[in-house]
Amino acid sequence: MLDRNEITAKLEEVLNPLPFIYAFWLEGADANGTADEYSDIDYWVDFEDAYEDKVIEAVEVALSELAEIDYKYIMRHEHPQIRQRIYHLAGTSEYLMIDFCWQLHSRPEYSLHENDNIETAKIIFDKKNIVKFKPLNISDFFEQNSNRLEEAKYRRTQHNRAEKYVQRGQYLEAYAYYNRYILEPLVDLLRLIYTPAHTEYYLVHISQHIPETEKIKLEYFAQISSLNDISEKIPQAAEWFDILVERVEL
């Protein structure tokens, strides 16, 4: 069965000789060393703007030479100078989705952080020093993290929003407000403590980012199946929240 290394090797073979492609790299699990049999592949390319159609075509031709593209979805990326498509190749694992991003060379320069085990890059080739790294300075995130902490503290005062729906016997509404005002603030505090440069990740890969004891505790509060669960866990979550707040250092 075709594997991720063969796909990467084929893309490198096809893309490297093209003079209008300046860099090709991996992000995600392949870059930070956590890839397993369930991981997708996150590819990035930097290219000269005028060759957008040719670069996308080159990628799709290369993939098609490996196997039939049996799934393709064109994403509408929020950044105006990034193009994104999702692919799957016939005969590969159902989990081996190919998440491909093309970056126009005119995109304003940005940098990844050194020694960042969450967001990093594994460079396949880089002809013009496109992928840059800078020292990680947590103070750069002070303002946004302060805002996140204040929002979490506000939600801590609003637990009765979930409690009132418990009293009304309305599970769906109670569940929604429990997540927003009880569970999400706990996740935010854990992010502020353990991944202050990536507080926006919410639950994405959080099992890899926090200690096992914290993960087990968070799982307990996330496991809700009844109004009784919600009623019992709200005060317990409040106690843990207050403990976590004392541990947050901005």
Is residue 79 predicted with pLDDT exceeding 80? yes
> How close are the terminal C-alpha atoms of the chain, in Å?
48
Is residue 20 predicted with pLDDT exceeding 80? yes
Q: What is the pLDDT of residue 83?
A: 97
Q: What is the pLDDT of residue 249?
A: 79
Q: What's the token pair of residue 155?
A: 């939600």
Mean pLDDT along residues 186-200: 97
CB atoms within 10 A of CB 184: 16
- Mean pLDDT of the chain, nearest integer: 96
Q: What is the pLDDT of residue 159?
A: 96
More confident residue, 138 or 9: 9
Mean pLDDT along residues 11-36: 97
Q: What's the token pair of residue 192?
A: 């502020």
pLDDT range class, residue 118, cuts 50, 70, 90: very high
Element (H, E) at 230: helix 227-247
pLDDT range class, residue 224, cuts 50, 70, 90: very high
DSSP secondary structure code for residue 182 in this structure: I
- Between 136-140, 156-160, 166-170, the lowest mean confidence (pLDDT) is in 136-140
Distant-in-sequence, close-in-space partners of 113: CB < 8 Å, separation ≥ 6: 119, 120, 133, 134, 135, 136, 197
- pLDDT tens per residue across span 34-74: 999 999 999 999 999 999 999 999 999 999 999 999 999 99
Is residue 143 predicted with pLDDT exceeding 90? yes
Distant-in-sequence, close-in-space partners of 154: CB < 8 Å, separation ≥ 6: none
Is residue 250 predicted with pLDDT exceeding 90? no
- Between 14-23, 135-144, 180-189, 233-242, the lowest mean confidence (pLDDT) is in 135-144
Is residue 167 predicted with pLDDT exceeding 80? yes
State the Cα–Cα distance between residues 73 and 84, nearest whole angstrom: 9
Q: What is the pLDDT of residue 1?
A: 84
Mean pLDDT along residues 152-163: 97
Considering the entire predicted model, what is its pTM?
0.91
Burial (CB count <10 Å: 0-12, 13-18, 19+), residue 179: middle
Picking from 243, 236, 239, the residue whose alpha carbon sits closest to that of residue 222 is: 236
Q: What's the token pair of residue 60?
A: 């799709």
pLDDT range class, residue 237, cuts 50, 70, 90: very high
Please give the C-alpha separations between residue 94 and each of 1, 71, 194, in angstroms, as whole numbers: 12, 11, 32
Name the percent of the chain lying above pLDDT 70: 100
Mean pLDDT along residues 176-180: 98
Is residue 14 predicted with pLDDT exceeding 80? yes
CA angle centred on 249, ends 244 and 250, rounded to 5°:
130
Residue type, 28: G
Q: What is the pLDDT of residue 24?
A: 98
Q: What is the pLDDT of residue 5?
A: 96
